[in-house]
Amino acid sequence: MLKIRLWALLGSLLLAASFGVFSTVAWLTADPPVIDFSAARPYAQGHALAITESWINGRTTTLPVADGIDPKFNESASGGAHRTVKSISAFDWRRESVNGRLVETQYVLVDAVESDFVVVLPFVFDGPTPVLAAYPSIQPTRLVGPPPALEYQDVAALLDQIPAPVRERLDQWGAAYATSDGSTLRDLADDTAATAEMYRGLGGFTLVASPEIRSAVQVSQGVIVVRARFIFLPQNAPAGITSDFDLLVTASDTTKPRIVAWGAPGSGPALQPYQNRSR
């Protein structure tokens, strides 16, 4: 009887071990789970917070970025925002399909002693890992524009066709946006129905140099969307912070072009004249 019980116990242990081995093999050989991007969950939020923290402090990010995006961000040329940051928190997020690719836009609120602002980061999902699709864009709070899409790919660049008056207007816009010169921003938009108080920028920054035009797309005769890279210098800081914008320019083929709207990288196709005017 004792031998029978011992054999029964040994058989049970061997059976349990076999199940364990089979389970382990099945787990190791199974395909990774497929993320359901239709779920109401911000998959890139952690990446956005980590990248913003690196971007603000002028450090290299170790997280995936798209081709053409420098993972060093502000490490070499810009040096970070030089703000006394109290907190960095998730503010909002959007998701959309652009040319068959999923784009999730994260809005991160940076609460600093000097001023608060929103950092806008577009991510793509070519696989299960979020990939930063464009340079972060710095926006004033309460003026968050349309969700950014992808870099302008498969579009013929018009960089060699950008006339001097447009370049001059971009210079003027960058300077006014940095200092939150509402009067100049309104005048550049030629928004005669608005007051200077209805337009605002960052405040507390200055434009370091002329912006670098990254791409341009013609919408119609005299109307173009320009992507430009600006470097803004915070007050009492040794270096600036790099930020990209899409800007809607009308009358671009005249001597007095107008910058009638702006937003984060990729928002160009959705920009509407005077959308940055506060009501």
Task: Give me the CATH code for the 159-270 domain, please.
Answer: 3.10.450.540
Q: 45-140 with 159-270: one CATH topology?
A: yes
What pLDDT is stored for residue 82 in this prediction?
62
Instruction: For 8, list phi and psi in degrees, rounded to 5.
Output: -65, -45
Instruction: For 244, list phi and psi in degrees, rounded to 5.
Output: -100, 150
Distances (CA, A) of 216 to 52, 73, 95, 165: 26, 22, 24, 15
What pLDDT is stored for residue 20 in this prediction?
41
Q: How far apart are CA 267 and CA 115, in angstroms?
A: 24
Q: How far apart are CA 130 and CA 46, in angstroms?
A: 10
What pLDDT is stored for residue 170 in this prediction?
96
Instruction: For 117, list phi and psi in degrees, rounded to 5.
Output: -155, 170
What pLDDT is stored for residue 147 in this prediction?
40
Write the DSSP symbol of residue 30. S
What is the mean pLDDT for each group of 10 consecutive residues in the chain (279 residues)? 50 45 35 48 87 83 82 63 74 75 84 78 84 83 46 50 90 95 96 94 89 82 88 75 89 94 82 88
Residue type for 76, please?
A: S
To 10 degrees, the CA torsion angle through 265, 60, 230, 271?
Answer: 10
End-to-end CA distance of the chain: 90
Q: What is residue 237's three-state secondary structure? A: coil
Q: What sign for the dihedral angle of Cα 231, 198, 150, 64?
A: positive
Q: How far apart are CA 257 and CA 273, in angstroms?
A: 13
Show the tokens assigned to 237: 């800081």
Show the tokens assigned to 128: 């299960």
Pairing of β 101-112 and β 116-124: antiparallel
- In sequence order, what are the residues at sequence separation of 6 or more whose Cβ sits closer than 8 angstroms to the Cβ of residue 122? 103, 104, 105, 106, 132, 133, 134, 147, 148, 149, 150, 264, 265, 266
- Domain range list for the chain: 45-140, 159-270
CATH 1.10.600 fits 45-140, yes or no: no
Which residue, 35, 40, 67, 82, is CA-closest to 234? 82
What pLDDT is stored for residue 189 in this prediction?
96
CB neighbour class for 16 (10 Å; exposed up to 12, middle 13-18, buried from 19)? exposed
Pairing of β 137-140 and β 85-98: unpaired
E-only strand ranges, 181-234: 205-207, 212-220, 223-234
Show the tokens assigned to 120: 């806008």
What pairs with residue 102 in β-bridges?
97
- In sequence order, what are the residues at sequence separation of 6 or more whose Cβ sits closer than 8 angstroms to the Cβ of residue 256? 165
Q: How far apart are CA 274 and CA 166, in angstroms?
A: 18
